[in-house]
């Protein structure tokens, strides 16, 4: 039970932090780099998932 609570808390915290970073970067970077960022994020997520 304790493990599930810790994992859930970390997941929520990382989701909020990741969302904040994504919003910041999407405001700072030019539109062409945002498109590349979306593509590479998807590719690296798939690569990590297949590992």
pLDDT digits (tens, 9 = 90+) for 23-34: 998 899 898 888
- Identify the pLDDT of residue 19: 92
- Identify the pLDDT of residue 37: 87
pLDDT digits (tens, 9 = 90+) for 7-20: 999 999 999 998 99
- Residue 37, C-beta contacts closer than 8 angstroms, at least 6 positions apart: 25, 29
CA dist 29 and 32 (Å) reads: 8
- Identify the pLDDT of residue 32: 86
Residue extents of the structural domains in the chain: 2-50
CA dist 30 and 28 (Å) reads: 7
- Identify the pLDDT of residue 31: 86
- Identify the pLDDT of residue 6: 95
Q: What is the pTM of this model?
A: 0.61
């Amino acid at each position: 039970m304790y493990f599930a609570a810790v994992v859930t808390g970390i997941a929520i915290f990382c989701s909020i932090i990741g969302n904040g970073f994504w919003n910041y970067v999407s405001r700072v970077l030019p539109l062409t780099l945002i498109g590349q960022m979306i593509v590479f994020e998807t590719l690296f997520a798939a690569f990590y998932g297949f590992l």
